[in-house]
Amino acid sequence: MRNATGGSLLLILLCSLLLPACSTSDSPQPSVKRSATSIPVTGDSLVEGTIGEASTLIPILASDASSHAVAGQVYNGLVKYDKNLNITGDLAESYDISPDGLNITFHLRRGVKWHDGAPFTARDVLYTYRVTVDPKTPTAYAEDFKQVNNISAPDDHTVKVVYGIPFAPALASWGMNILPAHLLEGQDITKSPLARQPVGTGPYRFKEWVAGQKIVLEANSEYFEGRPYIDRYIYRIIPDTSTMYMELKAGAIDLMGLTPVQYARQTNNKSFTSLFNKYRFPSSSYLYMGYNLRHPLFGDKRIRQAMTAAINKDELIQGVLFGMGQKAHGPIVPGRWAYNPNVKDIAYNPQHASELLAQAGWKEKNNDGILVKDGKPFQFTILTNQGNQQRLMTAQIIQQRLRQVGIDVKIRVVEWAAFLKEFVNKGNFEVVLLAWSISQDPDMYDIWHSSKTNPGELNFIGYKNPEVDRLLVSGRNTFDIQKRKQAYFRIQDILAEEQPYTFLYVPDALPVVSARIRGVEPAPAGIGYNQIKWYVPKNEQVYVP
């Protein structure tokens, strides 16, 4: 099933369910600790359960998380995020940014080889750039590269990129997987066999893909950061989460993401915790209730503030996530450098909500206890997409809370394709309940800037604030982290005051890993960042070649 969580940036998708992000003060701990004294050895396989099958392993053509997860093991970008979510070199050994922020120079690693033995050079980087911006390539990732004015390769191991204006998200955009020019140049990329048999530079090389069943990767013994200890990385496609959970319990899967109820209630017995390690850290996403600001009902900010005051976010987290999450106060997830810890969110207070509603003119109640103004009852519909039980439950709890302050809420669940086309893109809704997946970079121009309110664009609630517009631009046009921080802190203050969304919660990512896999070290970036260092002690290896 398609879980439409929305904004899916390339970089965060590289780790699929091992989504990064976490606060440093609250370091996540595995539920079981085993002695870490043994020395890493090679061998065995790691089987990850995945709900969706990858569609293509040429990453610039893929738009789904499953494809990017597999491609992330096979390819590398020029840069990547390290365990503390700082950008660091990957295929680029290092990089320099000119003081004016207009030039980025990448110094490529020497001696890196493609899986077929050909050397990796600057030509591959130039090709990847050119094919991505080529109007004939059906890719979703050309946007960031459009800011590039000029790109050149002074020698085989240097790439110089020139920008027209300083553009902070530019550096991260070079985390884009680099494609092999020697196999693709001069060919139609949409018909390339690499889509099913990729050749990359990454820690794992492609071995086999059995449609609808599994994708098998093998350790790349010549990987530039060292050979991964685990011999094979296998993705098993299991579309149903209950089935996947049973496969996990039966030992046929080593790694999957748990649901909150599985984490909180079904996996605390000894028989489970002796075989598996559970991990928990905030995911890079938040759930929100977005008000259509073009609608007369929601034009008044007191109304929106009242709604937030009437909703008990703690109750949502307990009821829907079994406590596996935290309150969202704004568009930045707690723990990131751009997160403003002093943001003044509106606390749960039904009394306050009623006062705000009264100020906005909603004083009288009809016989059903619904607020009335000019003879019209206070009534609206929360729209959400089908196939997401958590969102539906959230909507139901909100419905009951708003009823208590005299607001009559209806819930409507619509299939995703129709949801987008008929409602969101046409601005044909009152309130939507949706989630954003967010990137490591705090740039959120596309979601909040007033120029992005056209049909099909992401500021579909129609939020327009000149100060926010200015701050969004200044936040993305400098590499100076202090200046960026200032801009994003102020944006969070404004949004907390204006409440164009009611920011609801940040769910936790809940991966579980078989206890025979050692070397898993949770960090702010989650657990996936050091996968090549994971290993299985010789006497516990299950899959022998």
As a whole number of Å, the end-to-end CA separation of the chain is 33
Of the pair 391, 401, the CB lying nearest other proteins is at 391
Question: Residue 430 CB, nearest distance to other proteins (Å)?
Answer: 19
DSSP string covering 358-424: HHTT--EE-TTS-EEETTEE-EEEEEEETT-HHHHHHHHHHHHHHHHTT-EEEEEEE-HHHIIIIII
Retrieve residue 186's tokens: 């001069």
Question: Which residues, numbered 176-215, are part of the site for other proteins (CB under 8 A)?
Answer: 190-191, 195-196, 211-214
Q: In what order do the strands lie in the sheet with 364-365?
A: 364-365, 371-373, 376-377
Question: Residue 345 CB, nearest distance to other proteins (Å)?
Answer: 24
Contact 60, 179 (CB under 8 A): yes
Question: Residue 451 CB, nearest distance to other proteins (Å)?
Answer: 12
| Residue 418 binding other proteins, by CB under 8 A | yes
Taking contact as CB under 8 A, which single stretch among the options 101-109, 238-246, 295-303, 311-319 is the one that binds other proteins?
238-246
| Residue 56 binding other proteins, by CB under 8 A | yes
| Residue 272 binding other proteins, by CB under 8 A | no
| Residue 135 binding other proteins, by CB under 8 A | yes
| Residue 139 binding other proteins, by CB under 8 A | yes
| Residue 458 binding other proteins, by CB under 8 A | yes
The residue length of the chain stands at 545
Taking contact as CB under 8 A, which single stretch among the options 160-168, 281-289, 439-447, 487-495 is the one that binds other proteins?
439-447
Alpha-carbon distance 6 to 420, whole Å? 11
**Interface residue with other proteins, options 138, 154, 341, 361 (CB under 8 A):** 138
Angle between helix 301-310 and helix 481-498 axes, rounded to 10 deg = 90
Alpha-carbon distance 480 to 168, whole Å? 9
DSSP state of 149: E
**Interface residue with other proteins, options 94, 243, 351, 400 (CB under 8 A):** 243
Question: Which residues, numbered 323-352, are part of the site for other proteins (CB under 8 A)?
Answer: none
**Interface residue with other proteins, options 447, 468, 520, 525 (CB under 8 A):** 447
Contact 514, 276 (CB under 8 A): yes
| Residue 45 binding other proteins, by CB under 8 A | yes
Residue type, 24: T
| Residue 117 binding other proteins, by CB under 8 A | no
| Residue 8 binding other proteins, by CB under 8 A | yes
Q: How many helices (H) and strands (E) does the chain have?
A: 16, 23
| Residue 6 binding other proteins, by CB under 8 A | yes
Question: Which residues, numbered 62-101, are part of the site for other proteins (CB under 8 A)?
Answer: 62-64, 67
Question: Residue 73 CB, nearest distance to other proteins (Å)?
Answer: 17
Of the pair 44, 90, the CB lying nearest other proteins is at 44
| Residue 469 binding other proteins, by CB under 8 A | no
Contact 311, 502 (CB under 8 A): yes
| Residue 61 binding other proteins, by CB under 8 A | yes
Question: Residue 59 CB, nearest distance to other proteins (Å)?
Answer: 10
Strands (E), 21-102: 45-50, 79-81, 87-89, 92-97
Question: Residue 117 CB, nearest distance to other proteins (Å)?
Answer: 26
**Interface residue with other proteins, options 14, 65, 159, 237 (CB under 8 A):** 237
Alpha-carbon distance 99 to 222, whole Å? 36
Look at residue 502 and give its three-state secondary structure. Answer: strand
Alpha-carbon distance 62 to 10, whole Å? 10
Alpha-carbon distance 167 to 170, whole Å? 5
Of the pair 4, 393, the CB lying nearest other proteins is at 4
Of the pair 2, 123, the CB lying nearest other proteins is at 2
| Residue 534 binding other proteins, by CB under 8 A | no
Alpha-carbon distance 494 to 138, whole Å? 37
| Residue 287 binding other proteins, by CB under 8 A | no
537: burial class by Cβ within 10 Å (0-12, 13-18, 19+)?
A: middle
| Residue 416 binding other proteins, by CB under 8 A | yes
Contact 523, 23 (CB under 8 A): no
464: burial class by Cβ within 10 Å (0-12, 13-18, 19+)?
A: middle
| Residue 446 binding other proteins, by CB under 8 A | yes
| Residue 141 binding other proteins, by CB under 8 A | yes
Alpha-carbon distance 79 to 98, whole Å? 17
| Residue 234 binding other proteins, by CB under 8 A | yes
Judged by CB under 8 A, the number of residues near other proteins is 69
Report how far Cα 528 is from the mean position of its chain's Cα atoms.
Answer: 14
Taking contact as CB under 8 A, which single stretch among the options 27-35, 69-77, 453-461, 486-494 is the one that binds other proteins?
453-461
- Report how far apart, in Å, the C-alpha atoms of 319 and of each of 325, 427, 541 are: 11, 30, 40
**Interface residue with other proteins, options 159, 161, 444, 491 (CB under 8 A):** 444
| Residue 425 binding other proteins, by CB under 8 A | yes
| Residue 261 binding other proteins, by CB under 8 A | no
Q: What stretch of H or E contains 123?
A: helix 122-133
| Residue 408 binding other proteins, by CB under 8 A | no
* Beta bridge mates, 502: 289
Question: Residue 258 CB, nearest distance to other proteins (Å)?
Answer: 16
Of the pair 196, 470, the CB lying nearest other proteins is at 196
Of the pair 426, 538, the CB lying nearest other proteins is at 426
**Sign of the torsion angle spanned by Cα atoms 384, 385, 387, 388:** negative
Alpha-carbon distance 349 to 100, whole Å? 48
Summarize as ranges the residues that interact with other proteins (CB under 8 A). 1-2, 4-10, 45, 47, 55-56, 61-64, 67, 135-144, 146, 190-191, 195-196, 211-214, 234, 236-240, 242-243, 246-247, 249-250, 252, 415-418, 420-422, 424-425, 434, 439, 444, 446-447, 454, 456-458, 543
